[in-house]
Amino acid sequence: MKKLLVGIFAALMIFSVAAFANGPLLGVSVAPIPGRVANLNFGWDFGDYNIEVLKGDLRTVNGNWIVSGLWTPEVSNGFGYRAGISFNSAWFPTFTYNNFSFDVGVSKRWGPIQLYGELNFLPAGVLTVNPVVGFNLLFGNLLTKDETI
C-alpha cells in the first residue's frame, strides 16, 4: 500500500511539473575533446528555464548522470544565453554524488531546434574547464501557437 501511495504522489508531482512546462526536450551533446563520447540530453523546457539530464552510456542505467538546472533567456532572433549549475552523480547499485559544475554559454534557436555551446567550470581542487557543444529538439515549439487579436 505504501509503494502505491508513493507511486501516485510521484506521478502527481511529475504531471504538475509538466503542466507548467513548454514541453519536453531531447538532444545530443559532446565535449569536443578526443576520446569523449556523446551524451543523450533529455528534460523539460520551461521557456526561460531548462532542466536537463545527461547520460553517456545508454547500454545500462549504471554510470554517470548529470542533472542541470539552466537559465536560458532568449535575447533576440533566437539568440540566447545559458547559465546554471550541474550536479554530477553516479548510479551503481546506489546513488553517489560526485561533484558540481557551473555552466555558462550561448544558444541559438530556429523554431524547435536549439544549437548551443557552453563552458562547464568544475571547481574540484583544481579548476577544470570543459567545453560542450550540442543541440536540443524542443518538442513544445513543434506545435503552433494560437495567436488572438
pLDDT in tens, 29-59: 998 877 778 889 999 888 889 999 998 888 8
Q: Whats the size of the chain, residue-wise?
A: 149
Is residue 149 domain-resident?
Answer: no
Is residue 73 domain-resident?
Answer: yes
Cβ contact 104:118 at 8 Å: yes
Is residue 13 domain-resident?
Answer: no
Helix (H, G, I), strand (E, B) or coil at 72: coil
Is residue 77 domain-resident?
Answer: yes
Is residue 148 domain-resident?
Answer: no
Total domains in the fold of the chain? 1
Helix (H, G, I), strand (E, B) or coil at 12: helix
Is residue 36 domain-resident?
Answer: yes
11-22 per-residue burial string, b: 16 or more CB within 10 A, e: under 16? eeeeeeeeeebb
Alpha-carbon distance 12 to 115, whole Å? 32
Alpha-carbon distance 60 to 35, whole Å? 20
* Cα three-residue angle 147-135-69, rounded to 5 degrees: 80
Is residue 61 domain-resident?
Answer: yes
Residue in this structure with the C-alpha cell 536537463, named with its chain if needed:
52
Across 51-77, average pLDDT: 89
| 1-5, 39-43, 90-94, range with greatest mean pLDDT | 39-43
CATH code (residue 71): 2.40.160.20
Q: Containing domain of residue 122, as a range? A: 19-141
Q: Identify any residues that bridge with 140 across adjacent strands, giving them in sequence order.
A: none
- Residue 28's contacts (CB-CB under 8 Å, 6 or more residues apart) are 38, 39, 40, 41, 134, 135
Is residue 7 domain-resident?
Answer: no
pLDDT tens figures, 111-149: 889 999 999 999 878 888 989 999 999 888 776 555 455
pLDDT in the model for residue 106: 96
